[in-house]
Chains A and B, each alone.
Chain A
């Protein structure tokens, strides 16, 4: 009752998840939708860290850094949501293409 599939399967899943996150970041105009793409990318990086920790490195550091990434993602989500709410208060909108006052 062990896992017979190896490291490349996990890497493929992580790569697909990363690409999905990349497409999300490239195309979304809603700031919250954009952040969801960032979360997807962070998750795919975490899958890579954990898979390498299990199959290649056999140590603890992969897990530790995956844990650090999870904590950083939580902090990032909290700050980003506060910024989104602040933008919404002043613009009544969170479309990233409309908040271009500094550009003009």
Chain B
């Protein structure tokens, strides 16, 4: 079996994302978990790139690493005191969950490897952005608009959730 450079890259990305995933799950320090999530997101972005989904890889980096991860790290810093890093991310029932996970993984991998997928010969590597844009504003325009509405609602909702408490604090100060 000849290993090409993309194959080696696939192995690299897969190992990085899975090892960082293990750190996310088993680390006792929530800050370590948060930073290991960066490796997982970056590895998954690399996998998208290998599948020639370049726009998705860029979106993964921009949205997950640039957005979701920053929000998570901010939440870590705003809630749990960083001074308590020894046991800031407690787990319960790690061993039974791990056993369950191993069983589930064995089952899923068995299905993934043995099922006769109808694999077509992969299409030529092509720029994925123009067809994606056409699809988003053509066949998928209604879900696309619904999604933009959802993002607006999430933004307003997040502001409302956090603002309510500040307002009640001010009222307490006044009274």
Contact B108 A15 (CB under 8 A): yes
Given the known inter-chain contacts A33-B89, A36-B37, A82-B162, please indicate yes or no for A51 contacting B51, CB distance below 8 A.
yes
Cross-chain contact of A56 among B50, B93, B105, B120 (Cβ < 8 A): B120
- Among B93, B108, B157: residue with most chain A CB under 10 A: B108
**Interface SS of chain A:** helix
The interface size of chain B toward A, counting residues with CB under 8 Å, comes to: 87
How many inter-chain residue pairs (CB < 8 Å) link A and B? Answer: 247
Query: In the complex, which of the residues A30, A43, A61 contacts B89, with contact meaning CB atoms closer than 8 Å?
Result: A30
Which residues of B are interface residues toward A (Cβ below 8 A)? 1-7, 10, 14, 17-18, 21-22, 24-25, 30, 33-34, 37, 40-41, 44, 47-48, 50-53, 55-56, 59-60, 63-64, 67-68, 71-72, 74-76, 78-80, 88-94, 97-98, 100-102, 104-105, 108-109, 112-113, 117-120, 122-123, 128, 131-132, 135-136, 140, 143, 147, 150-151, 154-155, 157-159, 161-162, 164-165
